[in-house]
Amino acid sequence: MKCIEKDRARRYDTAHGLARDIERFLKNEPVTACPPRAGYRLQKFIRRNRLMAALASVAAVLLALGTLVSSWEVVRAKEAAAEQRRLRLAAQTAQASEAKERRAAVALAYASDVNLAQHAVKEKNLGRALELLNRHGPQHGQLDSPGWEWRYLWQECQSDALDNLCQRTNVIRSLATSQDGRWLAVVEFDGAVSIWDLRSRREVALPSAGNSPGFAAFAPGQDLLALSTAMGKPPNYNKVVVLLCDVSTGQLRRTLSLDDWCYGLAFSKDGQRLATATLGPEGRIAIWDIASGRPLASYSAPTLTFRSSGPTLAVTADLTKAAYQASDPRKISLLDLEIGNESWTIEAGLAGFARPREKWSFGWVRSRSDRLFIGCWGASAIRQWDVGTGIEMPSWARPASARCGDISPSGRLCLTFGWDTKPALRDLNSGQDFNADLQITDPLDVAFSPDGKWVAAVSMRGLPGDLSSYVRVWDASTFREVASFTAAGISITFSPDSSRLAVGAWGRPEAIKLWNTQTWQEILTLEGSPGNVAVSVAFSPDGNLIGARDTTLGVVHLWRAPAWSEIAAAEKAKTQ
């Protein structure tokens, strides 16, 4: 086309130019007659280098296919990893669900077998009871360790007693055991005194114990017995004394003369001093030196009183402090035995003197390391004292008088219920009050668990319109209800390890009922006396004893479960 262009300037200059273009065309090179476009030049290059172009095309195709296959494999790997994660999570969820169901099944089987074992014990079928208990013994790898109720029933299936030391027709007035567990002193109301060697199960001789023995106490780490008694013929006793006897030799070491009847004895921790509490026109608390038999100090305690179970007296191990209830039931006094001054007196309007955490018929008390808290049914305030100084601190006013209450294990929170059944929650550190929506009617007692996880309350009735007696349990951090069950109770407490909840019964033969705090299943019933009222339910610090005060009969019931070490020793002895 360039050869026949009308415009001369656009045609070939010479025939040589045309010849060169023809030569380029034959060599598949770009000609000048066409515009030098990139596509045209590439086309000519491919025609000149067909083998190289073919190889490059194949390489490009292979590279593209490789990239595609790699991308596909990556996608498949990601999908496979996601599927693996899904399957792993599903397997973990299934395992957790299976473990939960297995634990629930084990807990249900445990509760069922414990109840059957209790019925077997009642029917004296101890073999069947042991068979049921052995299904849940302390074996390695089990899901849940047996609780207090297992140890208690195991003990019920063993021999009733190690030995029968003595059997008396008279009432036993007091008992005392030595610190090493070797000696036992038995004092009867008719004046008879017997000393027993618990190792040999034999009674040992004792010098004359006078005509009216009262109370006995052993010196720590020694074979020395202190026995209060009266000399002379009844009813005209001419002298009241404390006899100090060596029970290992049967010899009388010393006699301490007193001014009046002695109703309290306590040795110091080193066994070198003895505290005596006497009544009479002027009550006195005296400290005696054992080596010389002379009084080291004597302090007036004119208001010291005596009840049928003995004086309400407690002393420290170093005999530096003595606390006692005065004749005025509203007063509790602390006496400094080093200077003879009364440290402080609490006038709280209470009906009795008790240790921390014990409940009263007319009030309640709780304590922590540095403060004592008391709530009275007749006052719309919670009163608190500094334990060290006895100084009353600012009280906590309530709209209605506090019926029951408890302090959290950390000592930070105090929860009370008033006669209006409304809860009140206070931060004892900041003094700030909080709202706690706890639905319960007529609460009689409330308790925090030792681990601070739960708080439980027992009521005379359920919610309005429901006349059943209820126990309600809340989460102590959120105060949301986690459990609720029927129980005719009046008092409530947790075991030291927080694994059991005990409820004292109201007017029923079932004195105490136990629940498992992991499943909230009832697992054991401890029988008391018909029509009893089991108040002040408590566990011992080691978790082996449960005690309750029966207000109907005026007695204290104790149920004991042996420690695991005792069970292991007993089982080992059976195989030898």
Q: Is 331 helix (H, G, I), strand (E, B) or coil?
A: strand
Q: How confident is the model at residue 289, as a pLDDT?
A: 93
Q: Tell me if residue 546 falls in helix, strand or coil.
A: strand
Among all chains, which residue has been given the structure tokens 């209790």? 118
Report which of 359, 452, 443, 365 is spatially closest to residue 412, judged by C-alpha positions: 452
Q: For residue 155, what pLDDT is reported?
A: 82
Q: What is the DSSP letter of 171?
A: P
197 contacts: CB under 8 Å, gap ≥ 6? 182, 183, 203, 204
Say what percent of the chain tops pLDDT 90.
10
Question: Nearest Cα to 115, choosing from 525, 546, 560, 562?
Answer: 525
Whether 348 shows a pLDDT value over 60: the answer reads: no
Q: Are 406 and 426 in contact (CB under 8 A)?
A: no
pLDDT at site 366: 56
pLDDT at 371: 57
Q: Which of 520, 545, 356, 553 minimizes the C-alpha distance to 453?
A: 520
Instruction: Summarize pLDDT for 429-458 with one digit per residue, the tens.
Output: 787 888 878 888 778 888 999 999 999 998
As a whole number of angstroms, the distance between CA 472 and CA 479 comes to: 11
What average pLDDT does range 543-553 have in this prediction? 76
Mean per-residue pLDDT for 244-271? Answer: 87
The confidence score (pLDDT) of residue 141 equals 44
For 474-480, what is the mean pLDDT?
Answer: 90
Handedness of CA 394, 400, 401, 406 (dihedral sign): negative
pLDDT above 70 (res 204) = yes
Residue 347 CA to residue 368 CA, distance in Å, equals 19
Residue corresponding to tokens 């420290």: 316
pLDDT given at position 236: 62
Q: What is the dihedral of CA 254, 260, 266, 272, to 10 degrees?
A: -30
DSSP state of 8: G
Average model confidence (pLDDT) across the chain: 76
* Cβ atoms 132, 120 nearer than 8 A: yes
Structure tokens that stand for 60 in this block:
């490009």
Asked if residues 406 and 415 have their Cβ atoms less than 8 Å apart, the reply is: yes
Model confidence at 331, pLDDT cuts 50, 70, 90, reads low
Name the one residue in this structure whose structure tokens are 């300037």. 9
Please, which pLDDT band fits residue 513 given cuts at 50, 70 and 90? Answer: confident
**Would you state the pLDDT for residue 352?**
30
Q: Residue 329 CB: number of other CB atoms within 10 A?
A: 15
pLDDT of 271-321, one tens digit each? 999 988 887 677 788 899 999 999 988 888 776 766 554 545 677 777 888
Confidence of residue 535 (pLDDT cuts 50, 70, 90): low
Give residue-wise pLDDT tens across range 83-123.
999 999 999 999 999 988 888 888 888 888 998 998 888 88
User: Helix, strand, or coil here: 78?
Assistant: helix
- Residue-range domain boundaries for the chain: 54-146
Among 101-110, 401-410, 564-573, name the one with the lowest average pLDDT: 564-573
Residue 249: band (very low, low, confident or very high) from pLDDT cuts 50, 70, 90: confident
CA distance 67 to 61: 10
Q: CA–CA separation, 371 vs 394, rounded Å?
A: 12
Residues with Cβ within 8 Å of residue 425, at least 6 apart in sequence: 413, 414, 415, 433, 434, 435, 436, 479
**With contact defined as beta carbons under 8 Å apart, do 534 and 528 qualify?**
yes
The DSSP call for residue 169 is S
Q: Beta partners for 183? A: 197
For residues 438 and 366, the model is more confident at 438
- Lowest-confidence range among 12-21, 221-230, 555-564? 12-21
Question: Which strands sit side by side in the sheet containing 392-397, from one edge to the other?
Answer: 363-367, 371-376, 381-386, 392-397
Q: What is the spatial distance between Cα 494 and Cα 513, in angstroms, rounded to a whole number?
A: 12
Q: How far, in Å, CA of 199 to CA of 181, rounded?
A: 9
- The residue-averaged pLDDT of 381-403 equals 66
Q: Which stretch of 33-37, 350-354, 438-442 has the lowest confidence by average pLDDT?
A: 350-354
* Amino acid, single-letter form, for residue 18: L
Partner residues linked to 29 by β-bridges: none
3-state secondary structure of 208: coil
pLDDT at residue 533 in the model: 60
Average pLDDT over residues 32-50: 70
Q: Which residue has the higher pLDDT, 358 or 232?
A: 232
Torsion of CA 539, 543, 545, 549, to 10 degrees: 0
Residue 255 buriedness (CB in 10 A; 0-12 / 13-18 / 19+): middle
> What pLDDT, on a 0 to 100 scale, did the predictor assign at position 549?
74
3-state secondary structure of 312: coil
CB neighbour list of residue 83: distance below 8 Å, 6 or more residues apart: none
Highest mean pLDDT among 162-166, 358-362, 557-561: 557-561
**Which two tokens mark 541?**
């610090």
What pLDDT is stored for residue 559 in this prediction?
83
> Does 358 have pLDDT greater than 50?
no
Q: Output the pTM of the full model.
A: 0.51
Give the span between the Cα atoms of 338 and 275, in whole angstroms: 12
More confident residue, 237 or 542: 542
Helices 38-48 and 50-122 pack at an angle, to 10 degrees, of 100
Contacts of 488 (CB under 8 A, 6+ apart): 469, 505, 506, 507, 508, 510
Q: Which of 57-61, 197-201, 424-428, 486-490 has the lowest mean pLDDT?
A: 486-490
Longest dimension (CA), the chain: 168
pLDDT band at 509 (very low <50, low <70, confident <90, very high): low
Mean per-residue pLDDT, 53-78: 87
